[in-house]
A and B are shown apart, each in its own frame.
Chain A
Amino acid sequence: MRYAMAIDTRKCVGCGDCVVACQVENNVPIGYCRDWVVESMAGTYPKLEIEIRSERCNHCDNAPCVRCCPTGASHIVEGGIVLVTHQKCIGCGACIQSCPYDARYSHPDGYVDKCTFCNHRIAEGKDPACVSVCPTKCMYFGDLDDPNSPVSKALQDRRYKTLAPEAGTHPQIYYLL
């Protein structure tokens, strides 16, 4: 089992609904976020291209945040989801520094927090909140080991990329181009 997400940059309009849905679902304090939207532009007027991406923890196969965690708070569970046990976290911030994606933040309650792929929702057979809410249906989630999962199907049909592959982290968020 390998959970992953594919995000269609051709459909995302950058509305930020994924961000609000995550904040509400996961009680992320106002002013913080577990996912965010990036817009990159190339060219000069009027020959322009924009890529809009919803970003979050990449739940890397080779996760530097897990390797550098001194207490074992950062760990990987079944399906490859990277989690932080809040009670074990001492808030040292080493993981924040090690993450090439800036996917972690210091929660005001003193621990480090990040995307969990909404594993509490997965357990109920639901998609992560961001995937469920997206008005453009640009996100596909599921098990890469299942060829019929939405994410597997999305990756079969389209060209895609990952972010910062040179970091060697084997990220599991795929961007459809």
Chain B
Amino acid sequence: MKTRREFIKISALGLGGVAALSSISPLTRGASAIEKLLGLNRNKPRIVKRVPSYCEVCFWKCALWADVDDSGRVVNLTGNADDPHCNGRLCPRGTGGIGMLYDEDRLKKPLIRVNGENGQTFREASWEEALDLVANKLKEIADKYGPESIALFNHGSPGHHLGHLLKALGSDNIAAPSYAQCRGPREVGFEFTFGTGVGSPEPTDIRDTRCLVLIGSHIGENMHNGQVQEMSDAIDRGATIITVDPRFSTAASKSKYWLPIKPATDIALLLAWINVLITEELYDKDFVEKYTTGFDKLKSYIRPFTPEWAYGITTLEPDLIRKTAREMGSAAPAVIVHPGRHVTWYGDDTQRARAVAILNALLGNWGRRGGFYFKEAKPLPEYPTPEYPKPSWSWKDVTNDKYPAARLSVSNALIDASIHSEDKPARIKAWLVAGTNLPLTIPQKDTLEKAFQDIEFLMVLDTMPMEITGYADVVLPECTYLERDDDIRNEPHRELNIAVRLAAMEPMYDTKPGWWVARELGLRLGLEKYFPWKEYREVIEWQLSQIGTSVDEMQRLGVKKFEGRKTPLYAETPEDYQFKTPSGKIELYSEQLESMGFDAIPRFTQHPEPPEGYYRLIYGRAPMHTFSRTANNPYLVDLMKENSVWVNPRVAALWGLKNGQYVWLKNQDGVVSHFPTKVRITERIRWDSVYIVHGFGHHDKKLSRAYGRGANDTELITRVSVDPLMGGTGMRGNFVTFVTENPGKEVVS
């Protein structure tokens, strides 16, 4: 079948930018092209200024200083010492951020898809031409189907600018995979219990905790900087760490107790812990009395769920379950059962997050030192622009009938709405994608492919030729975070604080900031009243002036802290505290959920088990990489160039696998990984599971260092258990086996 939209692997014929760069000899006295770009001239650079910014390699947004040398190049990045996100210490990705800036594979010119004799390809275009084309297409589609038929998928800073454009145009179909593919269930689970979600950064008071409980949360491998730092502080202070993970994670290795749980049985453990806290009366009675509802119902519900009951499900010894519950009880209220971050596992994830929330409530740690603190953000007025037009339909109309508790837009619901069926035309006709590599993010590739074929137009804004660009009609090259002004960061934390991102150098190549792209498109679409400024610096300056500071001052400070929190950091006058739930209290038993037809208290259900010869595919993070976006960064590739598949020695013996051998992974539906991955035989993984780090196995050749390195977990996730409450895609129900002979696939040496 002829596809409407082919995946374009090669850039184009006669790409000026690429040709010019590849003319640099790859090896000149050991200095590769990338080293030349990195400016390794063997001389110590003369730093002439430092410019404040915050990192965009992940979502933690650590504030940093960019050192700029006398030739105007950024040569070094260091954390801002006043920043509560990083305390002056960037993580490996943040430190290696200049590898993203000087990556020679960056997108350099706007690209337009053309139909040639030998298939589809890209040709380079001027910004003028590319923007005209995008604007015309969007106008055409908005006129024909309504502006609501245009959707935005985004992650990070550029999303806000394009989101503003889209809302001005009259659509609120804006989704980030960080919700339905990541942390959505915990937000919803906590909202139903405490009346408020968790948010980012999580208000976990780890530095002062006496007991930190991690359930599948691998802090240290997930490099959420401030949290990693605080876990280290907690270790210094002798806090007890309890880690629940089928894998001996780094965090598990730092723990007093490791609970090597059978995968997919976490709710059984959580219920058993709740059982022990209640039957042994270890819960905070005053707190429960004062702030919660439904305790009696919970108490009678939980009676059968003893540690002995959980033993048969989780394989964890009852004694260990009791001991760890007692540790939590004795540390309370300075105890945290961490809500986790990537929690879309088995489809009952909102309910699992509810169980975590209930456990925390029983420990009375909400608003307590060493538990959860009350975060607060510095209020920051938006630059005044006219009110957005009201869309005639919204993301809620294609989401909430299926997922009633989704509070934010669900990416997979928007994708479904982009696919036509015989009885129903697709409601979404065009996509803008910014900063998110959907093919290595969204499971169930077939569905995504269908959407790619059905939509009429796809524009991608990115800094790198990620796989998503191969499906685009127009690719717009964004400059990196170090080359642009951007929104002020004012995320909630212990102290009110803001951080600025100011351009540290001129954009390299023919790249532009996201705000510039949004504005240029806005002008072309007759939306100039929404962009009453020329440079984003004007917006930043106006906003800063509203809170008593200025670009001048922020250039000196980078991060500014403010007095005047409106709420206490901890609950000082607890009698008055009202939770934002219907009852005003923490809802241990949720009548809200009951009235919606869901379980009022979480229930354990059995999930599918691996068939004979197959192993549960567990995926996670490595501290030196972010999703799939850093796999080509020269510094980070140097630390970790590919993933490996962790295999228990017993399983390896059964299959005759050798350490370091390359194998392909085949899932239960017969899908074989594009590329092979290295076997790592290790006791650190159970015999019923294998583990790989997410974000590898890139299949776009334009990513010269990442192409063909490792296996891509996302392509092996063909089965998804969708959370009926909020649409999260549970992805841990896929099983793989080993293919040791090349199944006819390309191998990159």
Contact = CB atoms under 8 A, between A and B. Distances in A.
Interface of A: 10-11, 13-17, 19-21, 23-25, 27, 29-31, 33, 41, 43-46, 48-50, 52, 107-109, 120, 132-138
A11 B223 contact: no
14 contacts: A10-B235, A11-B236, A14-B250, A17-B91, A20-B96, A20-B638, A21-B95, A29-B30, A43-B683, A48-B253, A50-B250, A50-B253, A135-B225, A137-B229
B510 interface: no
Interface in B224-257: 225, 228-229, 231-233, 235-236, 248, 250, 253-254
B634 interface: yes
B98 interface: yes
Interface centre among B41, B42, B639 (most CB of A within 10 A): B639
A120 to B, nearest CB: 8
A15 B220 contact: yes
A19 B231 CA distance: 21
B71 to A, nearest CB: 15
A21 B687 CA distance: 37
B708 to A, nearest CB: 19
B420 to A, nearest CB: 46
B258 interface: yes
B223 A133 contact: no
Nearest to A108: B30
A41 B634 contact: no
A31 B40 CA distance: 13
B739 interface: no
Contacts of B96: 20, 24
Contacts of A24: 75-77, 95-96, 98, 635
A45 B686 contact: yes
B635 A20 contact: yes
A94 B229 CA distance: 40
A14 B76 CA distance: 22
Given A17-B95, A19-B639, A137 B253 contact: no
B90 to A, nearest CB: 6
Nearest to B633: A20
A36 B443 CA distance: 35
Interface centre among A24, A25, A31, A43 (most CB of B within 10 A): A24
Contact of A25 (B76, B92, B683, B685): B76
Nearest to A120: B44
Contacts of B233: 137
A30 B250 contact: no
Interface in B404-429: none
A30 B78 CA distance: 19
Report the 6 A-B pairs with minimum CB-CB distance, sorted nearest first. A108-B30, A13-B220, A15-B623, A136-B232, A50-B253, A17-B92
A138 B221 CA distance: 16
Interface centre among A31, A49, A134 (most CB of B within 10 A): A31
A20 B38 CA distance: 13
A138 B233 CA distance: 10
Nearest to B224: A135
Nearest to B38: A30
A48 B686 CA distance: 12
A16 B92 contact: yes
Contacts of B254: 10-11, 13
Contacts of B75: 24
Nearest to B623: A15
A50 B29 contact: no
Interface centre among A10, A21, A107 (most CB of B within 10 A): A21
Given A11-B236, A17-B95, A136 B34 contact: no
Contact of A108 (B29, B34, B258, B684): B29
Given A46-B258, A135-B232, A30 B34 contact: yes
Contacts of A44: 683
A28 to B, nearest CB: 9
A135 B228 contact: yes
Given A10-B235, A13-B220, A133 B30 contact: no
A45 B95 contact: no
Contact of B639 (A20, A27, A43): A20
B120 interface: no
B441 interface: no
A126 B29 CA distance: 32
Contacts of A109: 29-30, 42
B92 A20 contact: yes
Given A13-B221, A15-B624, A24-B76, A48 B683 contact: yes
Contacts of A10: 235, 254
Nearest to B67: A24
A14 B623 contact: yes
Interface string B562-586: 0000000000000000000000000
A107 B638 CA distance: 16
B638 A30 contact: yes
A21 B97 CA distance: 11
A41 B684 contact: yes
Given A45-B248, A48-B248, A49-B253, A11 B258 contact: no
A25 B47 CA distance: 12
A30 B35 contact: yes
Given A13-B228, A21-B95, A41-B682, A46 B40 contact: no
A81 B438 CA distance: 50
A31 B229 contact: no
A25 B683 CA distance: 36
